[in-house]
Structure 1
């Protein structure tokens, strides 16, 4: 790692180039208050935290644009001879946002004080596709069990937990079809397709803490061509950086069994409240090394948890970042370290060990205000070990050495904002598998991934924006799997926002290619009969969306979207040796095929509002249906625990679409934050002290149940797998679990310390009503003594697993 760091520094000291990916754009138009277009106006973009600025000028049509702008707080100032200047404050640019603003100037013969614009618009009038954001305030001030930031993604439409893996499912696609990007660097495992830090709503580990996140964007459907290497969604996370002021925080979150309620499933079994002790603590510090030029940010987060699991859950996270502005360039260097020991899932006994380290750097250099060249490099080593069969990949030890290089060029030409780039990611994967009591078997599954794109964001008129792009992705498995070089992905989108852009209609279509998990190639080298279909290809998903969003008083927005996704060539494992037809031996033969298909249709309603900086709320409702050919997650397929992860051939079952594994017909999520400070403005004495400095937060979730299938305990189709045969007379995912709901409140009281410091005492509760939310049932309908002799199971359908009952925690936080 030391050698890699020296090489990284040397590279960026002699090469032009990179702004962190996840950067957005700011578009604008300068005109007089009578509508006269003003060309050659001076436009300055200033970072409110660092003071670093960029300049450009408006063109003959009054248009200006700043490409490749990192997430953060900004102000835009416009000046023109003969006019009073104008400044737009309170710009909070979130990851990958395209903000469009209007700056009308008033005639003034003599220089006048710059006038301030009201709050910038909330509706993204130039965004063409379906997308959602989670801001820093939501990460800091909403109740989140385990402080797992991916759970916040479930506050947005069309996102749920993957029932099979505990990860995130977008448009009901498998979680392995997503991509996690942190500061523009890929943090997705090429072996498994899951996040390197194993983030997920019910997974305990996470690679970055809530305190170190500036915010993140979920590219839900139809994203532009610079988003790729994922057939589902891309989660674009941006870490915090330092500024001109020294700021920091420290916190401790404490939970104990004495604060929790007994689960219904335990109460019926005569068990006591589940043992539980949780401590999460940490600190952040950021500020200037030298003002307006060099900045630092460092974050530590620790977890110490004891439950019923055989081993405690311990995690240590470190994020260290520096930013340097010099000669019109911006250099970012970042180090991340995750060390985790313990159970990965809340609901399963699967102790694991994670050791993840990465060094990354990006450099941005611009020419004038119209061209920005970006380059990035990442060096990482990731180690993932598990000793239990319950793990999705069985007992294993994975080690990945990663190198990633990328470059992108953004430039403005009239009403066109062009962007072109390329990226190479090389993973050297090694390690071993073991099944039951068998000796470990070594594996190697190296992979090199290539990506390139070109896109044009065109402001065709003052009201119409059009995105056109083309992307290419390829994976080289070094002859371990078929090589497909035909993954061309066109993208197109439009946004129409007439008049004052109070409403916007948007539509998009794109072709998206997934990354095939290299664990398939690793299992193919296993000393058990396996085969990879010679026509195997990367997953492909057609995504399309259309929606309308309206903004009211710059205080909130309301929108409706239609989302469509058609999945093709989804990977799956199938038992094919029925009656020894594949090989003349009494053994299982597993074939890895890219024959899965899925269709998703969904309508989402979403609202997002801020009222006088006092009340903030979001509402997301999703009505959807997904149908797919039978699908199981790609993982260890041998041994008793892995045998259920292959599919049994049963007539036309494999070619017929049924309700998807993650099919939730309805989902409603509401979140809110309320600050009482304004209530106390006109109060005095005791009433003022009682009212001011209270914060209330709330997250409420409800969704219909996931489907499940009925199985036979026995091999009735003759493929030598006694764990994956559907019960006769039933179909795939014929049954459903009950619906789930939870109410999670938060109350905090601030106490001022000095001129800038604040203490906060916090109470949070999760599933306040102690509602039983069941996630699994006994799905064995009968036992097959022979193909035609079945003994019914009287316990079929009985509930066997439940999420947490009421969990409460107390916390203290100081910030300055």
Structure 2
């Protein structure tokens, strides 16, 4: 299948070369601007300004206005020359100007009096501050992308170099790329574009494809107050561009190796787990037709083989397999068969489902044959001391990335470029390695396609149009790998498969002993089409930008979660989990039939932006964006929701409160569309002294967040579209889990023509949107001062704030009620009612300081310090509310709060030496690295018991003393007791705990990443380089947060640490 995909890719590449017939927005484009003056400082109107791309010889033109100002918009990041000519003056030529993505590049021009044929050449143009926009933007330029150390060669890691960047989510098999919080925002509220085209997975709102560093040119991150041209999200805008071909051939070959030989031992381990990762490939770019047609191609392959640290399980002994659990009482038994001691680790078992003590812990007459079959097939015998079984899991991954970009000049007025990206991945790994039995794996295959076509037409130097088409396609196929294709029904149990023809999965848990889990089968197809057009008009003191952006999203998902049963054993019958398992007595069995959702929508956006040079020193940024919310429509109509007390007429047998499309007051898509979403944007930039060296900037804007399709898909889980059943403590055990009523499976969803007669099975579980659901919005503001410094440095000091309202959250609208003994308030008709609500809120304030030095004299430097405080009542949409009756009770420090963050990165290229022999030894070296220091993350002290009887299992502890942490103790003492555990106890019955959410702060982080590069051989334009890179180079332990559950034996203790020092080496050829 991979070979077919590659063949398809190269067939499509051929089409790129032969048919550029079509041509998002202009994200990723820069602006070059300035003022033309004479030697006296008087402005020069009517000057001809020509900007020339040094790589492709493409030109762009402007004419200085009556006030001497000129603006050249829609400039691609590259190297340029700028020539200015005016009658009666010498011409001005600035050479080798580096223009970065999304940059406002100020080039002031002073013309000398003289003949037009005379020319003044400037070879070193200083970097000026931004005097045109109030947007806070930082650029990760080509030098940093190419040279800074990256573990796994993932440029997304460089997002953390930016001021305001906070915590990130952990990467899992569910999403391809981790998410980052900016300025206290949620992880999934950033917007990623690639060559001006949307680059997001609409299911998770995470980046879709991430070009390798040999293909990625650079990217910008706009963190506050970006203009009306950009929207869709309330977080940061990350705009990346792929390298392009020029009139000169350039490229690379590389091989990177990560090997455990270069790694240090983990802080809490005596061994280094085997790990091999090879990343290999290359790139090439150049001309097809000089000055007319250019190409760029990159390939990277990644092969990873890992043997994580050994896993130790507790498996049943031969006696226990036969039902004899005498060894659970090492103290021995008295004559009656009662265990002589109740102190741990002694256990006195009871006969299943009774309070009668099991004599000598012998349950041989209760052994369930299906469990015996399970053990014989899946549970190995002990191979270590006691009943321990130890093994080393084996995982591997194969990822490939093919990237092609073509740029064409179609005349003096038209340019077009496009890219085609194909990324197939295949990862086979153990999803729950802590206690999983050997052989249970998940096989996840992703196939990503990304297409961008961009056409720029210049009507005149004052009027430019940019049209873009984009396509983003993600296919995910997830399959379980189960030894022997085992199933509980195959072992003889009474569990009936939820879908007669559906694929198998497996999920059985015997806590503290072992798990048998493989990922549930899942197929997903996610598509997004994007059509955008932007018109930029420079008129006098105004640069007016207007345009539209239309995105068409489509997601298809078919999932078989828990189709074979999720079986949990919890010591509910005998007093021991393993004994419950051997006797076939589960604590719960959860099953769900397959469900298929197909949410799709078409979302139009329109914007107008005016960058008005109000005075020679003051520019105002005034914009508005119309960004309506259009709810996703399910092709199958599988939508339902909860409205207390209202009876459905579409499905008249539904319990009162469950509504469907067609019922009164029920929007056809579950949520009402919002057409009145207008987002004003206001900014300013003041050239304080009029010399382009000091600017005062700021602004305010309103930004809306979209809803990912993962939320929409949840509605397809409801009856009658699917059927989910949880059986708590089934009286018949595994032999007869459904009781006298029999099994409702296999389940076949009714046709809409059968809705009127469909009989609901109680209790009903509902997932849907709250009746008053609103779309989240965030207000952003900042005020900052930029100052030009010597040595091509710019410093920025900023106050940055955000305020979020109507943020999406998840809560149970039918929790247990303490006064009802823990019964749900709408029982027995309804079980859990999971609703998406919009009562989340957030607040963020910060001081951000930045120092940025562009590459000169072989040195580049970026340093950022952020002092901030982030508050909210919930940080992620899928996190449960602690108290479903009072959302304000959860207000506290946000999960993304990091009080202090300092990050510095730099590159130092040592100069070449004249003496050939000395240069071979001491010359050609490069040192690069990243130093990161940050405060710890907040955490909440939990009760570990459902004393509120709310059925949420999210009770906080009661705080009965002063909660002190001990971050300055010696490390061993910190790990033994990080905070004063005596200050907390289990919450009182009927309460949710007095300890505040996220009231304690965990250990901080101090990490240094270093890279060393040596140029070994240089032959004409080709160089052979050796690289060695070390992450956490000084092996400084980064402790995890402590166990914060008062019911845990590990309460207050730290049991884990971050990665130790790991290394990778590489050989590169660059030309």
The structure-2 alpha-carbon separation of the partners of 1:344 and 1:510, relative to structure 1 and needing over 3 Å to count, comes to farther
1:365 aligns with 2:489: no
Task: Look up the match of 2:446.
Answer: 354
Cα pair 1:190 1:515 within 8 Å, conserved: no
Alignment of 1:432-443 (within 5 A): 432-436=558-562, 437=565, 438=591, 439-443=593-597
- Give the 5 Å matches for 1:128-207: 128-163=134-169, 166-197=178-209, 207=210
How far apart are residue 627 of structure 1 and its match?
0.6
Please give the alpha-carbon distance, in whole angstroms, between the structure 2 residues aligned to 1:346 and 1:252.
29
Report the counterpart of residue 540 of structure 1 in structure 2: 777
**Structure 1 CA distance, aligned partners of 2:476 and 2:421?**
16
Map of 1:394-405 to 2, 5 A cutoff? 396-405=522-531
1:592-649 CA-partner distances (Å, limit 9, x unpaired): 1111000000101110114743211111010000010133343xxxxxxxxxx32232
Q: Is the 8 A contact 1:31 1:38 kept in 2?
A: yes
**Counterpart pick for 1:708 among 925, 939, 943:** 939
Q: Residues 396 and 46 (structure 1 numbering): CA distance in 2 closer, same or farther, change over 3 Å?
A: same
Q: Specify whether residues 20 and 711 from structure 1 end up closer, same or farther in structure 2 by C-alpha distance, changes over 3 A only.
A: same
Q: Show the counterpart of 1:201.
A: none
CA contact (8 A) 1:50 1:243 kept: yes
- Alpha-carbon distance change, 444 to 655 in structure 1, aligned in 2, over 3 angstroms: farther
TM-score by length of 2: 0.69
Match of 2:278 in 1: 279
Where does residue 788 of structure 2 map in the other structure? 551
Distance of aligned partners of 1:677 and 1:150 in 2 relative to their CA distance in 1, 3 Å threshold? same
User: Residues 258 and 122 of structure 1: is their aligned pair in 2 closer, same or farther, counting only changes over 3 Å?
Assistant: farther
Q: 1:427 aligns with which of 534, 553, 556?
A: 553
After TM superposition, give the deviation of residue 462 of structure 1 in Å: 2.3
- Could you tell me how far 1:353 is from its partner in structure 2? 2.5
Q: Tell me by how many angstroms 1:108 deviates.
A: 1.7
Secondary structure in 2 matching 1:128: coil
- The worse-fitting range, judged by mean Cα deviation, of 402-411 and 747-756 is 747-756
Choose which of 269, 290, 294 in structure 2 pairs with 1:266.
269
Where structure 2 has 5 or more consecutive residues not aligned to the other structure, the ranges are 1-7, 172-177, 309-392, 435-441, 481-506, 508-514, 566-590, 634-668, 719-764, 817-823, 958-985, 988-993
Q: 1:383 aligns with which of 475, 478, 486?
A: 475
Q: Given the alignment, which residue of 811, 815, 820 partners 1:574?
A: 811
Change (3 A) 1:336 1:20: farther
Q: 1:357 to 1:35 in 2, by over 3 A?
A: same
Normalised to the residue count of structure 1, the TM-score between the two structures is 0.90
Over 3 Å counting, the alpha-carbon distance change for 1:238 and 1:550 in structure 2 is: same
C-alpha displacement of 1:394: 7.6
Structure 1, 281-290 or 479-488: larger mean CA deviation: 479-488
1:245 paired to 2:245? no
Q: Does 1:487 align with 2:677?
A: yes
Matched, 1:291 2:290: yes
Moved more, 36-45 or 277-286: 36-45
Distance 1:66 1:760 in 2: 38
Q: Is the 8 A contact 1:20 1:362 kept in 2?
A: no
Alignment of 1:718-729 (within 5 A): 718-722=949-953, 728=987, 729=994
Helix, strand or coil: the match of 1:176? helix
User: For the residues of structure 2 that align with 1:612 and 1:370, how far apart are their CA atoms?
Assistant: 34
Q: Which residue of 2 aligns with 1:410?
A: 536
In 2 relative to 1, CA 685–282 (structure 1 residues): closer, same or farther, beyond 3 Å? closer
Equivalent of 2:929 in 692, 698, 714: 698
- Partner of 1:584: helix, strand, or coil? coil
Q: Is the Cα–Cα contact under 8 Å of residues 164 and 183 in structure 2 kept in the other structure?
A: yes
Residue equivalent to 1:463: 617
Deviation of the 1:685 alpha carbon: 5.0
Alignment of 1:643-658 (within 5 A): 645-649=879-883, 652-654=886-888, 656-658=890-892
The yes-or-no answer on 1:50 pairing with 2:56 is yes
CA contact (8 A) 1:453 1:471 kept: yes
What secondary structure does 1:266 align onto? Answer: coil
Return the alpha-carbon distance in structure 2 between the equivalents of residues 80 and 32 of structure 1: 10
Match for residue 757 of structure 1 among 1001, 1008, 1022: 1022
How far is the alpha carbon of 1:384 from its aligned partner?
2.7
The separation in 1 between residues aligned to 2:887 and 2:407, in whole angstroms, is 55
- Equivalent residue for 1:517, pick from 694, 708, 719: 708
- What residue is the counterpart of 1:86 in the other structure? 92
CA distance in 1, matches of 2:448, 2:847: 38
Q: Per-residue CA shift, 1:347-380, capped at 9, x if unaligned?
A: 9897632211122211000112111111111233
The answer to whether residue 1050 in structure 2 is matched with residue 795 in structure 1 is yes
Given the alignment of the two structures, is residue 446 of structure 1 paired with residue 445 of structure 2, yes or no? no
CA contact (8 A) 1:607 1:619 kept: yes
Q: Is residue 594 from structure 1 mapped to residue 852 from structure 2 by the alignment?
A: no
CA 1:413–1:343: 2 relative to 1, 3 Å: farther
Computing the radius of gyration over CA atoms, which structure comes out larger, 1 or 2? Answer: 2
C-alpha distance 454-655 of structure 1, shift in aligned 2 (>3 A): farther
Q: Which residue of 2 aligns with 1:607?
A: 851
Change (3 A) 1:347 1:30: farther
Matched-pair contact (CA < 8 Å) for 2:222–2:237: yes
In structure 2, C-alpha distance between the alignment counterparts of 1:725 and 1:352, rounded to whole Å: 36
1:626 pairs with one of 858, 867, 870: 870
**Match of residue 315 from structure 2:** none
Q: Which whole-Å deviations, capped at 9, do the CAs of 1:699-739 have from their partners, x for residues lacking one?
A: 11111111122334443333334466666232211232210
> Is contact 2:54-2:79 (8 Å) kept?
yes
| Distance of aligned partners of 1:343 and 1:43 in 2 relative to their CA distance in 1, 3 Å threshold | farther
- Matched residue, 2:1065: 810
- Indicate how the Cα distance of structure 1 residues 677 and 145 shifts in structure 2: closer, same or farther if over 3 A, else same: same
The corresponding residue for 2:503 is none
2:627 pairs with 470, 473, 478, which one?
473
CA separation in 2, counterparts of 1:597 and 1:456?
Answer: 31
Tell whether the 8 Å contact from 2:282 to 2:299 is kept in structure 1 after alignment.
yes
Identify the structure with the greater strand proportion: 1
The answer as to whether partners of 2:802 and 2:844 remain within 8 angstroms in 1 is: yes
> Secondary structure in 1 aligned to 2:416?
strand
- Per mean C-alpha deviation after superposition, the further-off stretch among 102-111 and 143-152 is 102-111
Structure 1: how far apart are the matches of 2:63 and 2:157? 42
| Larger mean Cα displacement after TM superposition, 613-622 or 380-389 | 380-389
Cα gap change, 1:111 to 1:371, in 2 (>3 Å): same
Q: Secondary structure at the match of 1:114?
A: strand
Among candidates 884, 888, 893, match of residue 659 of structure 1: 893
Question: Please, what is the CA RMSD of the aligned residues?
Answer: 2.7
Distance 1:296 1:774 in 2: 47
Q: Tell me if structure 1 keeps the 8 A contact 2:625–2:678.
A: yes
Do the aligned residues in 2 keep the contact of 1:587 with 1:720 (CA within 8 Å)? Answer: no
Paired residues of 1:577 and 1:720 also in contact (CA < 8 A): no
State the SS of the aligned residue for 1:140: helix
- Segments of structure 1 that go 5 or more residues without pairing to the other structure are 198-206, 635-644, 783-792
CA distance in 1, matches of 2:218, 2:1046: 46
Question: 2:220 — aligned with what?
Answer: 217
Match of 2:408 in 1: 324
Q: How many residues align?
A: 777
d(CA) in 2 for partners of 1:332 and 1:455? 25
Change over 3 Å in CA distance of 1:191–1:52 after alignment to 2: same
Show the counterpart of 2:1033: 768
Distance 1:170 1:359, change over 3 A: same
Give secondary structure in 1 for the equivalent of 2:72.
Answer: strand
1:396 to 1:781, Cα distance in 2 relative to 1, 3 A = farther
Counterpart Cα distance in 2 of 1:517 and 1:363: 29
Give the distance between the partners of 1:109 and 1:208, measured in 2 at CA: 49
- Partners of 2:96 and 2:828 lie apart in 1 by 72
Paired residues for 1:491-506 under 5 Å:
491-497=681-687, 498-506=689-697
